[in-house]
Amino acid sequence: MASEASSAPVEARVDYTGPMPAARRRSRFAASVTAAVCLLIALAVVAPGGQRADPENRLDLIFEPWSVRGAPGCAVSVMRGGDILFAKGYGEANLEYDVPITPASVFHVASVSKQFTALAVALLVADGRVSWDDDIRRYVPELPDFGEPVTLRHLAHHTSGIRDQWSLLQMAGWRWEGDVITQGDVLDLLSRQTAVHFPPGSRYLYSNSGYTLLAVVVERVSGRTLREFTTARLFEPLGMTQTTFRDDHTMIVRNRAYAYESGRTGGYRLSIPDFAVVGASSLFTTVQDLARWNRNFRTGEVGGRGVLRQLQEQGALAGGARLSYGFGLVHGTHRGRPTIGHGGTDAGYRSEFLRFPDEDLGVAVLCNVRTADPGRLARDAADVFLPPAPPTANGRRARNRPGPPADRPAGAVASRAAPDRGALAALAGYYRSPENDIPLQIVARGDDLLLVEGGAGRPLQPLADERPTAEGRFRIAGTAAEATFEPGGAGDGPTLRLSGSLRGVYTHAAPVVRLPIGRLAEYAGSYYSDDLDVRYLFREENRRLVLSHRKLGRIRLFSTFEEGFYGGGWYFTFHRDAGGNVEGFTMSTSRAWKVAFRRVR
């Protein structure tokens, strides 16, 4: 069906015919009031003579790709303090009934939820009922003893080392479409874990598990569900009447925007999260309510200004190094200005809540389509209301720099010098970490080096005190992290040392081109994981190792390194006993490392 762009504000659109029940009439009346308010907001920026003022024109251009009838889109609000400067919807909230997106549309906001969970815990801390430095096992004793205490602070800053729940669930055979995942399912899986990635507090690795556990703490200490606690202590006092944690997948959410992704044969198909897990996700809210949330950071109406100041502090590692993450918020800069916020991604939902604390400006962008980029849209929308960026030392306007977690300050980037291409070529190749067996690739491309991780390549920029040679330090472009190459031993390739979120030591490794005849048969068999309570079957099929599972299906594996394979987004490393027989393997992904399997036949 052909689609057409709508130039009229969708907030004012009401399409229905025939009689309707009283409850629906009341709903329509409330929607009409909301539409009128939103229309007044838009009219407030109308210039003399009836021409629309520049901010609205500019924002309409930014969101033009999402202003299509018969297609999903986004809602946006720009606020200063608690006052909305601009609010509008683009696209449709429900494609089956042609319901438009408005500023009152309710979206699942995924990981934007985390900051609300952090404040819920902070209220219990202020009440004297918990401490950020309490051991999580004090409240969740069914978790195993990992040797060192994992504190609530570790969970809030993603420094716990606990494996990520979504990675574990997928490894265990849970399917995103069709399986309803509950809080109990996640807690049961986390209670089976036999190891953490690293000593708690020693480094950063994003893990949704931490915020699910914080939600459990709130529930067990307060005696109320996270939904009940946050409604009474956060949302009702702030007037966030359209905001709630959805802890029941059958729960009715009024004015809900359904999420979509591109269909396999064109058009769109539904893409809705099938889980009832709260804390790390599952907050439903509107761009209007997020303006009230933005105001609270300034007023401290809920929590008090001291608590709100603490929640906007950066986290730290055990050694004191500052992170760019803390208490459910990411710290960065945009065009030289500090930013604090968080994005979210679940199924077809995409979200961004971004604050500019120095300007008391906030932007919320909530979308119901997988292809939207609300992080970019929010920053583009903010630029409409921000003054020009302050010039840098060289007189140029500052550019956007994301704020990734870093464990050391980065040096200055060197001015461009002629590199030694032979030296750069010597650095190229695969590198693997003994911590997780997930390889990185260094690619030499002309005069440049690229670090490829997770399919994305980032340039390496020589630092000011180094030349671009085989022994030197580089900045990973777009981050505060560094890459340092060190010479290996006799006959060995170089060693790569990374700081920041990829922190670790990686050794040069030659990829396996072709396995010897008969090698694949040695890996065939059945394997079981105590951590996941799942069994995998491996077979050799047409000179290829294939993993089989009744819910995961058949996954073809490809050789990576000696005893290593890749497939389905996972890395497998097989292990042998003293007699040379394959006895098991470990399985890794970016947020769940070295999950152990043992051979059972």
Angstrom CA distances, 393 to 396, 397, 410, 411, 509, stand at 7, 9, 17, 16, 42
How many Å apart are CA 155 and CA 130, to the nearest integer?
A: 14
CATH of 421-509, one of 1.10.300.10, 3.40.980.10, 3.40.35.10, 2.40.128.50: 2.40.128.50
Q: Tell me which amino acid residue 420 is.
A: D
Residue that is written with structure tokens 């990675």 in the block: 167
Distance between start and end Cα atoms, the chain: 55
Same fold, 421-509 and 519-599: yes
Which ranges constitute the DSSP H helices of 235-347? 236-238, 287-299, 305-311
List, in order, residues 6 or more apart from 271 with CB less than 8 Å away. Answer: 259, 260, 261, 347, 348, 370
Angstrom CA distances, 415 to 411, 460, 462, 542, stand at 13, 13, 8, 52
Contact 460, 474 (CB under 8 A): yes
Residue 285, SS3 per DSSP: strand
Binned average pLDDT, 10 residues per bin, the chain of 601 residues: 35 32 40 42 44 80 96 98 93 98 98 99 99 99 97 99 98 90 97 97 96 99 99 98 97 97 93 95 98 96 97 95 96 96 98 97 98 97 90 57 37 50 83 85 87 82 60 80 82 82 80 83 98 98 94 93 91 96 96 97 86
Question: How much is the pLDDT for 426?
Answer: 83
How many Å apart are CA 470 and CA 485, to the nearest integer?
A: 7
For the chain, the maximum distance between any two Cα atoms, rounded to a whole number of angstroms, is 88
Contact 226, 215 (CB under 8 A): yes
Question: How much is the pLDDT for 37?
Answer: 40
3-state secondary structure 190-217: HHCCCCCCCCCCCCCCCCCHHHHHHHHH
User: Domain limits of the chain?
Assistant: 421-509, 519-599
**CATH class (in words) of the domain with range 519-599:** mainly beta
Q: CB count, 10 Å around CB of 133? A: 11
Contact 131, 124 (CB under 8 A): no
Does residue 578 come out as left (phi exceeding 0), alpha (psi in the -120 to 50 range) or beta? Answer: alpha
Question: How much is the pLDDT for 419?
Answer: 60
